Amino acid sequence: MKTTSKWLLEILLVLLALLFMSPIYLMLVNSFKNRAELYENALALPSSFSFQYYTRAMEKMSYWTAFGNSLFVTVISVVIVVLLASMTAWMLVRTDNRLSKIIFMILVSTMLIPFQTLMMPLMQVMDWVRTSLHIPMLNTHGGLIYMNVGFHASMAVFLYHGFMKSVPIALEEAATLDGCGKFGVFWRIVFPMLTTITITVAILDVIAIWNDYLLPSLTLSDKGLRTIPLSTFYFFGEFTIVWNLAMAGLVLTIVPVVIFYFFAQKYIVKGIAAGAVK
Amino acid sequence: MMSKRNNRLWFAVFTVPLLFVFTTVVIVPFVIGIGYSFVSWDGIPANPKIFVGFDNYAGLFRDDRFLSSSWHTVEFTLLALISVNLLGLVLSLLVTSKLRTSNAARTLFFMPNLIGGLILGYIWQFIFTDALKLVGQQTGMESLFFNWLLNPQFALYAMVIVFTWQMAGYTMIIYIAGIQGIPDDLIEAAKVDGANLWHRLTRIIFPLLMPAFTICLFLTLSGAFKIYDVNLSLTNGGPGNATELFAMNIFNEIFGYGHYGLGQAKAIVFFLIVAVLTLTQVVITKRREVQM
């Protein structure tokens, strides 16, 4: 009785897992089929494995350029968010006055603002900066990184702020007495103790920024600057009916994410759980 | 005195860089966005911005496309809320019942969440247009297996399915953390006292999972209400405008039709609804949480 129900649950779980993976299966098998084969039976395995659609998709979507752009924008944005947010959160926690509280409240309450509420006025502001101050905020990776930092700042400060209470203040005081300056105290003593939450912040932001479509689509117009979601969008618009080519392109965009997931799975799952609970 | 001034200086050195970026990217656009919602403007810098007071807001109630978009967004959000949390809960209960395949299954269930919404939508566009049609032809069940994206109602269900595929694994992770926080001896004691599976679930596990419910409902509610990427890549609002949800309606109003003022008024209303919804939801569920 006990074992039968256990086996039933086991079978149910396997079936659910297979069902969950069926879209991935469909995408994979059809990326290898030619047109006739695909329309004859989209569910069957391909009769031969040829990577011709992959090489063509890679070329059509300028895969390596887009990959490099995504990597550059994501890494730099996340590094800046981590540095600035941890510094800010530390000061806000260690300076117990009204100003700190007000700044923190403003940061937290703006987390409710949807992107759609800000996108049009943001583009006007950045356009004004571009024309009046001659700082190229639009159609540059630098501008995109700047805006990424602005959008992810409040969440990161919030996470660091919550974690900072578990960092013992005694160590900092001892270091200050030993003649360590503010920068020294922060980078040598405090920041290393924040590693757990730094990983959470970094993972949440890597996922969000890597997959972001809307902000890059508004700011970047040059073909050579496109990130992976952007180049997928244009590629798919062009080859929507050519399913085998389109599927090969999609597989290519997913590969980096899957590799990242399998290497950092433990941290990702922990980070997601920790980030959500806060 | 000297050290006080010094402290202020250090405070500025540590906080101003972030606050400056944050202010220019979030605060300033938010404030001037409120201003834009009171003007009529087509987005061309040379053309005048004409002050129209509350006309843009009043116009929302006469905008049929906007009203039906709001209704579809509500419908989508409710369906998504139920299906994501139901599936996430079932998956978490299965995965934590010490089965052989638990770990592998957990890994697979969570994976879709890491793939961006835009790409998820494209994968499923293929499934709903061609794969489903083929299944229908082969099984003869063409009343269920057809191109869902051409039918207004089924296109919305298609979005619910894709969103569930994306989010169920995410809520599963949070429910798992909640379940693992329940002490084993509590469950064992209930078993000894003769509580069956249903009673253990409804009397012990669910009440103790209330914090996890709060988080998951909050995340799915705001995620579903603000959905854009999946909407764009799966249906692009079609057929007709049947699946043009809130966020897409705002985008199209501003950048598609060039109604900058009206679109920004919609965006402000969007913000107010998101704020009220999420705050109410958190307050209600927090009140029902059980303290251990």
Dump pLDDT digits (tens) for B200-212: 888 888 888 888 8
Does a structural domain hold residue A198? yes
Neighbours of B145 (CB within 10 A): 18
CA distances, A179 to each of A171, A173, B2 (Å): 13, 10, 17
Interface ipTM = 0.89
Average pLDDT over residues B266-276: 93
| pLDDT computed for residue A278 by the predictor | 56
Place of tokens 């006469």: B62
Residues of chain A in contact with residue B26, where contact means CB-CB under 8 angstroms, are: 110, 113, 118, 150-151, 153-154
Domains of chain B, with CATH numbers? 63-288 (1.10.3720.10)
Does a structural domain hold residue A112? yes
Instruction: Work out how many CB contacts closer than 8 A connect A with B.
Output: 230
| pLDDT computed for residue B289 by the predictor | 62
> Between the ranges A195-199, B130-134, B181-185, B187-191, where is the mean pLDDT highest?
A195-199
Tokens of B115: 């793939």
Does a structural domain hold residue A40? no
Q: Taking the CA atoms of A47, A48, A52 and A57 in sequence, report the sign of the dihedral they define.
A: positive
Per the CB < 8 A criterion, the answer to whether A84 and B21 are in contact is yes
pLDDT of B1 above 50 = no
Interatomic CA distance for residues B285 and B175, integer angstroms:
15
Helix or strand holding residue B39 (H, E)? strand B39-40
Tokens of B120: 């998820």
Q: Taking the CA atoms of A32, A36, A39 and A42 in sequence, report the sign of the dihedral they define.
A: negative
Tokens of B11: 């405070």
Q: Determine phi and psi for B250, rounding to 5 degrees.
A: -65, -50
CA distances, A98 to each of A82, A84, A102, B70, B200 (Å): 25, 21, 6, 40, 47
Q: What is the pTM of this model?
A: 0.90
* Cβ-defined contact of A17 to B105 (cutoff 8 Å): yes
How many structural domains does chain A have? 1
Q: B292 in helix, strand or coil? A: coil
**Tally of helices (H runs) and strands (E runs) in chain B:** 15, 2
Does a structural domain hold residue A2? no
Q: What is the CATH number of the domain that holds A186?
A: 1.10.3720.10
> Per residue in A64-93, pLDDT tens?
999 999 999 999 999 999 999 999 999 999
Interatomic CA distance for residues A215 and A193, integer angstroms:
33
Does a structural domain hold residue A214? yes
Does a structural domain hold residue A48? no
Does a structural domain hold residue A71? yes
The range of the structural domain enclosing residue A116 comes to: 62-238
Interatomic CA distance for residues B176 and B89, integer angstroms:
8
> Widest CA span of chain B, in angstroms?
86
Average pLDDT over residues A31-50: 80
Does a structural domain hold residue A98? yes
A35 and chain B: CB distance < 8 Å anywhere? no
A102 and chain B: CB distance < 8 Å anywhere? no
- Range 212-271 of A in CB contact (< 8 A) with B: 212-214, 229, 232-233, 236, 240, 243, 246-247, 250, 253-254, 257-258, 260-261, 265, 268-269
Per the CB < 8 A criterion, the answer to whether A66 and A226 are in contact is yes
* Cβ-defined contact of A27 to B263 (cutoff 8 Å): no
Q: In which band, very low, low, confident or very high, does the pLDDT at A161 lie, cut at 50, 70 and 90?
A: very high
Nearest residue to B217 (alpha-carbon basis) of B165, B286, B148: B286
Enumerate the β-bridge partners of residue B50. B40
Average pLDDT over residues A29-36: 84
Q: Taking the CA atoms of A212, A217, A220 and A222 in sequence, report the sign of the dihedral they define.
A: positive
A135 and chain B: CB distance < 8 Å anywhere? no
